[in-house]
Amino acid sequence: MRVGRYKFSPRLVPTLVTVVLLPLLIGLGLWQLGRAGEKRTIEETVARQLEVATLEIDANRWKSIQKSGDISAMGHRRVSMSGYFEGERQYLLDNRTHNGVAGFQVLTAFIPDGAAGGVLVNRGWIPLGERRDQLPALPVPSARLKIRGTLEGPRKPLPLLGSSGYELKQWPKIVQRVELGSIQKQLGLPLLPLAVLLDPSSPAGFVREWKPYYGISAERHRAYAFQWFALAAALAVIYIVVNLRRIDDD
């Protein structure tokens, strides 16, 4: 095909490379755009959930949630509970930082009034201290109190290369991830399949600056999509350039 003073003459190897890579790059870009749309939907759902009226978790509500096991529509819902903390046995979720400082998040079971089990409450972040073998004090009110927070559904457990920490004899236990099954077994206490992030206005907590967790944001997915499309465009330009030949006039 002749274009002005140039002739477009596709060669085999560049053509094969382009035929394979170009659809792949475009497909990856479209996939990232799809993921961006999914994340945007999640962000909008979270925003709506935070506007819904606060859910009171009492003994009856605890029983109905435990029986149904359906928490798909409850994530990021604001909740309140009256009852007691189980402060004798607590967990320190390891490798949590705040403003660049290493530390833990404190996990404590809370038992709503009259409930047959509890709810795991993340009471916030505390610094590591000078030595790992000197664990921080984790004061818990012994009196009945009312707390508020936001429901956080279970995340997919991250793979571990070593010990999870639940086999340790000491209390509080330093653990690498939240394993509700292990916590229930050790406490001898049924727990709801979710956790509560303790509200900064509630008592008995530590540093609490919660932000909804989405994984990769919608904006980041769109940025990735742009990169894939840019690579596809660059490949197309390179393919055209390497297959153009100047026609010499005799």
Evaluate whether 46 touches 76 at the Cβ level (below 8 Å). Answer: yes
Q: Are residues 100 and 8 in the same domain?
A: no
Q: Are residues 95 and 193 in the same domain?
A: yes
Q: CA-based angle 159:160:165, to the nearest 5?
A: 130
User: What pLDDT shows up at residue 69?
Assistant: 63
> Does a structural domain hold residue 210?
no
Q: What percent of the chain lies above the pLDDT cut of 70?
A: 82
Spatial distance between the Cα atoms of 233 and 224, rounded to a whole number of angstroms: 14
Q: What is the mean pLDDT of the chain?
A: 83
Q: Are residues 121 and 72 in the same domain?
A: yes
Claim: this prediction has a pTM higher than 0.95: no
User: What pLDDT shows up at residue 73?
Assistant: 61
> Does a structural domain hold residue 208?
no
Domain encompassing residue 172 = 55-130+138-154+167-198
Q: Are residues 39 and 59 in the same domain?
A: no
User: What pLDDT shows up at residue 47?
Assistant: 66
Per-residue confidence band for 100, with pLDDT thresholds at 50, 70 and 90: confident
> Does a structural domain hold residue 34?
yes
Check whether 249 has a pLDDT greater than 60. no
Check whether 250 has a pLDDT greater than 60. no
Q: Are residues 192 and 220 in the same domain?
A: no
The 10s digit of each residue's pLDDT in 131-187 is 777 787 888 888 899 999 988 865 666 666 667 888 888 889 999 888 888 999 999
Q: Are residues 189 and 110 in the same domain?
A: yes
Is the C-alpha dihedral spanning 46, 48, 51, 54 positive or negative? Answer: negative
Collapse the DSSP code of 239 into the 3-class scheme (helix H, G, I; strand E, B; otherwise coil) and give the result: helix
